[in-house]
């Protein structure tokens, strides 16, 4: 539990959003105390929760986008590993829904593409039904409308299907995948 060893971690994220800055470091039962400043970051592609150390003498801001990919990093020193939602600081947990919503709005075409290409999970269940508030009725409306023409935007979905605020629906699903045990992961990597 807690943080995986750095050498075993395969980071698929290029950028992340800083959820919290812990200047005194952290202490967890799962590994030794780290007394250097730590940041808790949410990856902006697979919504991976990570902890990392930062370069010396850099200023870090909450909600700042930072490069976390391979190669030379200007703010992040190295990735300590993945963390679970339970390992987030209270401040990180408070900020998480807003950061996810901002990313869902910023990546609108990714989520629209999901609706345009989503497939059934089984003969009795479609992957679209995994979205909060979308049952069989809305799923059928979405499938019928996308046959006529692909969706172009959140507004297009709202006007053609009647869904209020599709970005909030996607945000809720991403948050559920991060905070709760899920059988299926549509937008995140399982821990």
CATH of domain 6-88: 2.40.50.140
Instruction: Confirm if 40 and 53 have CB atoms less than 8 A apart.
Output: no
Taking the model in full, what pTM does it have? 0.89
In the prediction, which pLDDT does 71 show? 85
Nearest to 52 by CA among 67, 36, 38: 38
Can you give the pLDDT at residue 191? 84
Give residue limits of the domains in the chain. 6-88, 107-179
**CATH fold match for the domains 6-88 and 107-179:** no
3-state secondary structure of 132: coil
pLDDT for 5: 37
* Mean pLDDT in consecutive groups of 10 residues from the start of the chain, 191 residues: 39 89 72 74 96 92 95 91 95 98 98 97 95 94 97 98 96 97 94 84
Q: Domain spanning 107-179 has what CATH number?
A: 1.10.150.280
Q: What is the pLDDT of residue 28?
A: 57
Residue 148: alpha-carbon gap to chain centroid: 31
If one counts every other C-beta atom within 10 angstroms of the C-beta of residue 183, the result is 7
How many CB atoms neighbour CB 103 within 10 A?
23
């Amino acid at each position: 539990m807690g943080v995986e060893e750095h050498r075993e971690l395969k980071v698929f994220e290029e950028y992340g959003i800083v959820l919290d800055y812990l200047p005194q470091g952290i202490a967890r039962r799962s590994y030794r105390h780290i007394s250097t400043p730590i940041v808790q970051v949410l990856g902006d592609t697979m919504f991976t929760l990570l902890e990392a150390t930062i370069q010396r003498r850099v200023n870090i801001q909450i909600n700042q986008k930072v490069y976390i990919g391979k190669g030379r990093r200007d703010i992040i020193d190295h990735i300590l590993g993945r963390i679970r939602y339970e390992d987030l600081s209270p401040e990180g947990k408070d900020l998480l829904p807003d950061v996810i919503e901002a990313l869902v709005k910023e990546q609108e075409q990714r989520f629209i593409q999901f609706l345009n290409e989503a497939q059934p999970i089984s003969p009795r269940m479609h992957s679209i039904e995994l979205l909060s508030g979308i049952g069989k009725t809305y799923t059928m409306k979405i499938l019928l409308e996308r046959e006529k023409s692909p969706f172009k935007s959140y507004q297009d979905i709202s006007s053609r299907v009647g869904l209020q605020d599709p970005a909030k629906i996607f945000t809720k699903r991403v948050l559920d995948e991060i905070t709760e045990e899920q059988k299926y992961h549509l937008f995140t990597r399982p821990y």
